Amino acid sequence: MGIWVSVKPFRKMPQITNLRLLLLSSVNHHHPLLRRKTLSFSSSFPVLPHLRKPIRSSEFPLLTTFSSYSKKPLIKNSYNKNSRSFHRKKSLLRDTEGKSSSSSTKGGSLAMEETTCNANDTGESIGFNRKRAEGRDASDRPKKNLQLKVRKLNPANTISYVQILGTGMDTQDTSPSVLLFFDKQRFIFNAGEGLQRFCTEHKIKLSKIDHIFLSRVCSETAGGLPGLLLTLAGIGDEGVSVNVWGPSDLKYLVDAMKSFIPNAAMVNTRSFGPRNDSNGAAISMFRKFDDPLILIDDEVVKISAIVLRPSQSEVNDPEMGLDETKPANLSVIYICELPEIKGKFDPKKAASLGLRPGRKYRELQLGNPVKSDRQDIMVHPSDVLGPSVPGPIALLIDCPTPLHLQQLLSVQSLTPYYADTAGNVPEDSKTVNCIIHLSPASVTNTADYQLWMSRFGAAQHIMAGHQMKNVEVPILKASARIAARLNYLCPNFFPAPGFWSLQHLKCLPSGLKDLAPGVGETVSAENLLKFHFRPYANLGLDKSGIPNLTSRSVIIDELLSEIPEIADWSQQLNQLWSGNIETNGKKTYMQANRGMTEEPWLPSSALPDCLEDVTRDDMEIVFLGTGSSQPSKYRNVTSIFINLFSKGSLLLDCGEGTLGQLKRRFGVEGADEAVRSLRCIWISHIHADHHTGLARILALRSSLLKGVPHEPLIVVGPRQLKRYLDAYQRLENLDMQFLDCRHTTEASLEAFDSNEDDAKFQKEKNGNSIHPEDERVDSNLFARGSRMQSYWKRPGSPTENAAALPILKSLKKVLVEAGVETLISFPVVHCPQAFGVALKASNRINRVGKMIPGWKIVYSGDTRPCPELVKASSGATVLIHEATFEDSLVDEAIARNHSTTKEAMEVGDSSGAYRVILTHFSQRYPKIPSFDDVTHMHKMCIAFDLMSVNLADLPLVPRVLRYLQLMFEDQTVIDESEDVDFETAAA
């Protein structure tokens, strides 16, 4: 356990005891001001007394803002990986009890860990975890050597089935995952984005996974792998390691992940099929390419693979969209064979052959011959066992294109699994019981594919290749349920209905057409559909676990039953947009296409000039993910979509599942258009919850724009991200250009703008220049005289700067086309190379020729409050600030270099931001975070997944917050039944 540093409490804010902190965190949601029963709704909105008092800017100066948390004790210096967050029953707050005295004996060395920075030389300071900001906290963690679990198998009495895990079936953004289940083993086929979130909701344990098989090595099938591996590596004290199998050299995939996943989590990689040599030429590990490759062969299952690879001449066909140099071109057929079931033992036959009951009976049942006890003969298993039953066989087919289909039809190694033309099974063949087709409808609907399907006789066919039927049933039912409720409450802020019907999805590809004669029973895959193998008596389909098709109307009826007042609340919010609501006797109205002009129910708040004559097609902020660390039932990880409508769009961070969230917000076809229109993607830092959805977005954009003249998409991010993207581009085309965040800071942009000639770069070569960013970081962000060399190292070589110049020019061009004047990154306090970003729109001219200033959006990324963020947020129209922790957990916020809700709002006050929207909540707050301070409610709101805030609606943002708090009353604490892992809940 670590040691806490005891610090003298700040005179205006006495130190709260650990017990009080714990009590506060558990009772905050019972605050009397927030209880529904104490509020009576009439035709006007209830006004709390706290909101009547005007907020004076003098009450929130910058120094006061930072003083409230400057003297908090810093979290322990022994910082292992498993202490990133907290178990429900083992908080770090509890660990502090009784340790203050021991910490004080350590002297100055531990006290130095609470590094602070001067703020305007006044003695006020900011508390943060210096070691984490520098990236040195990892050195204190015990090194894990993750090992594969040795499991004792039990082939005689086992339960076995395959199950559809449904990833991407409703949004059609990834390939569905399939679970092969045994009592002691688990096998996963494909790990698309959203797999973890799906398994969390349906309580499918991932800790017993031994092997992950990829039918193709690409973002569609492996997008969820980074997050899954991180979760497995963090299970328990030792972690869990798995074998990852793929039809190409997985070195590219491993290299791509090394920048943000511990190496130990990926040590067991298994490649098969052809590989490319150093020159890119294809080589084969095996003489005969289409022979089955045996991957697993133990007591319970034998798993083989057949690799499909179209000929190089065919791959070069541009119409097929395949690239022979990319491993993603390879596809796999997986064959899963269970051992035969031995016949029933006949004790009468055994007795007649002179055997006594006992050990020899068991040996015969295991297949071993024994010597008779009474006769001079050997007794063989066939003498006492009835006829054996062949073991069940399942096939997983991934045939993504017609070119792969041509290869599939010619594979001779599948011949033993075919039935004869009459549907009978030849004597020496193997009966296939179940075939799961991951192939898309464009392939499975062809006559050739269906004729090939008929070769398997009466096999059960499960069509999992994005069938239309699946779109109606949400993969994430809990999230869809909340989306439907929020849509009912306030459709203007929550336009996504949560549930889709087929009449809204006519653009989707049709489902399976009429089958060719001779094809066995065929069903569309559904979430949690099973096909049982063992016990043999249960052989066949099992639909008992499939979620029911719930309509939106049923969800709303339940909501009205639970909260009858919700109908009035919804009507009142709708009246805000229609302009008919009256409060305190004064009418609040909205002119056509304009923001609210009066706000008598709030303290005086002048409407920013940028909202004058604003239209609804200027800008919209869509929150695709509002949780931290890892996806949960109710909140996806971080991603913010800036919709500029006809001018394109921007993406700020891109956590796992971002594409799926885009499709839930805009529909399947609308999301494709949103991806096509992307102008730039900006990534704040290298933590996996902020960027692991990036490859899927880039790969889809590349595919959508194939054959269309376009420029590569510019990705701005920390320099470690480039390593990931460069390695990943060896797998599939990402069609992007990378720009380091350091080259988009204010000082760097000024330097590039004024020094685009060779003299600037020659001066750097001679070592005569010091990057202005270093000076600003050393003097403002961290303590004076302490150069963060391990954080920044050097600002960039002349070669890097020269390479960045043309990309910077391209970025400026696309931003101007999108109506954005500047994109400026600034360093924040979280981890090495963590940034926030400020976006400033170009000025515009209204209908009467008046110059209207452009809006300004600032996104904090993950950070402690810091001067750089306050400076960048000055005069912001919207500040989007992380608020990972509630106010009582400030110590945890300091330890993780995150912010509390109060700290985030104080930054907004200090910077003069017009509206502050909080996001990036710890998964300990399943639906709505705890928020105690009502002082700032005049300008804030809490973000939810799929929440869409139009620029024209910004004046209404605070009004919605009170309704949201009432709607989720008593739901701010974690549900004890939820399967949430707090070990990683606030990384």
CB contact set of 404 (below 8 Å; sequence gap of 6+): 308, 310, 331, 443
DSSP lists the bridge partners of residue 463 as 437, 524
Per residue in 649-671, pLDDT (tens digit) is 999 999 999 999 999 999 888 99
Q: Would you state the pLDDT for residue 502?
A: 63
Per residue in 33-60, pLDDT (tens digit) is 334 333 333 333 333 333 333 434 333 3
Among 961, 969, 874, which residue's Cα sits nearest to residue 917?
A: 961
Whole-angstrom distance, CA of residue 954 vs CA of residue 939: 9
Per residue in 227-253, pLDDT (tens digit) is 888 888 777 667 777 889 998 878 788
CA distances from 513 to 428, 451, 463, 529 (A): 33, 13, 12, 21
Whole-angstrom distance, CA of residue 516 vs CA of residue 451: 6
Q: Would you state the pLDDT for residue 314?
A: 53
- Give the torsion sign (CA, 211, 213, 217, 223): negative
Whole-angstrom distance, CA of residue 612 vs CA of residue 831: 39
With b for 16 or more beta-carbon neighbours within 10 A and e for fewer, the 576-614 pattern comes to bbeeebebeeeebebeeebbbeebebbeeeebbebbebb
Q: Would you state the pLDDT for residue 878?
A: 97
Per residue in 392-448, pLDDT (tens digit) is 999 999 999 999 999 999 999 999 999 875 555 556 668 999 999 999 989 999 999
Beta strand 209-213 with 186-189: parallel, antiparallel or unpaired?
parallel
Please check the confidence at residue 909 and state whether its pLDDT lies above 80: yes
Q: pLDDT category, 807, cuts 50, 70, 90? A: very high
Backbone phi, psi, residue 542, to 5°: -135, 110
As a whole number, mean pLDDT of residues 106-128 equals 43
Q: Would you state the pLDDT for residue 868?
A: 95
- Assess contact for 752 and 761: CB atoms under 8 A: no
Q: Would you state the pLDDT for residue 716?
A: 98
Per residue in 257-292, pLDDT (tens digit) is 877 876 656 668 888 877 654 444 444 444 445 678
Q: pLDDT category, 147, cuts 50, 70, 90? A: low
> Over the chain, what is the mean pLDDT?
76
Tell me which of 516-530, 672-686, 916-930 is least confident. 516-530
Q: Would you state the pLDDT for residue 549?
A: 80
Q: Would you state the pLDDT for residue 773?
A: 42
- Assess contact for 946 and 664: CB atoms under 8 A: yes
Please check the confidence at residue 587 and state whether its pLDDT lies above 70: no
As a whole number, mean pLDDT of residues 167-196 equals 91
Q: Would you state the pLDDT for residue 46?
A: 37
As a whole number, mean pLDDT of residues 468-475 equals 81
Whole-angstrom distance, CA of residue 467 vs CA of residue 189: 19
Per residue in 728-768, pLDDT (tens digit) is 888 889 999 999 999 999 999 888 877 665 545 455 555 55
Whole-angstrom distance, CA of residue 715 vs CA of residue 717: 6
Tell me which of 157-166, 279-288, 509-518 is least confident. 279-288
Helix/strand/coil (H, E, C) string of 66-133?
A: HHCCCCCCCCCCCCCHHHCCCECCECHHHHCCCCHHHHHCCCHHHHCCCCCCECCCCCCECCCCHHHH
Please check the confidence at residue 823 and state whether its pLDDT lies above 80: yes
Please check the confidence at residue 28 and state whether its pLDDT lies above 50: no
Q: pLDDT category, 321, cuts 50, 70, 90? A: low
Whole-angstrom distance, CA of residue 880 vs CA of residue 949: 12
Whole-angstrom distance, CA of residue 866 vs CA of residue 824: 16
More confident residue, 614 or 71: 614
Chain centroid to Cα 665, Å, comes to 16
Count of C-beta atoms within a 10 Å radius of residue 101: 8
Please check the confidence at residue 817 and state whether its pLDDT lies above 60: yes
Q: Would you state the pLDDT for residue 211?
A: 92
Angle at 266 between CA 261 and CA 270, to 5 degrees: 150
More confident residue, 925 or 61: 925
Q: State the pTM of this model.
A: 0.80
CA distances from 382 to 168, 388, 587 (A): 48, 9, 92
Q: Would you state the pLDDT for residue 166?
A: 86
Please check the confidence at residue 904 and state whether its pLDDT lies above 70: yes
Instruction: Tell me how far apart the 2 most distant CA atoms of the chain are, in Å.
Output: 113
As a whole number, mean pLDDT of residues 538-543 equals 93
Please check the confidence at residue 304 and state whether its pLDDT lies above 80: yes
Highest mean pLDDT among 206-210, 379-383, 387-391, 511-515: 379-383
Specify the residue for token string 């990534």.
683
Sort 408 into a burial class: Cβ within 10 Å, 0-12 / 13-18 / 19+. Answer: buried
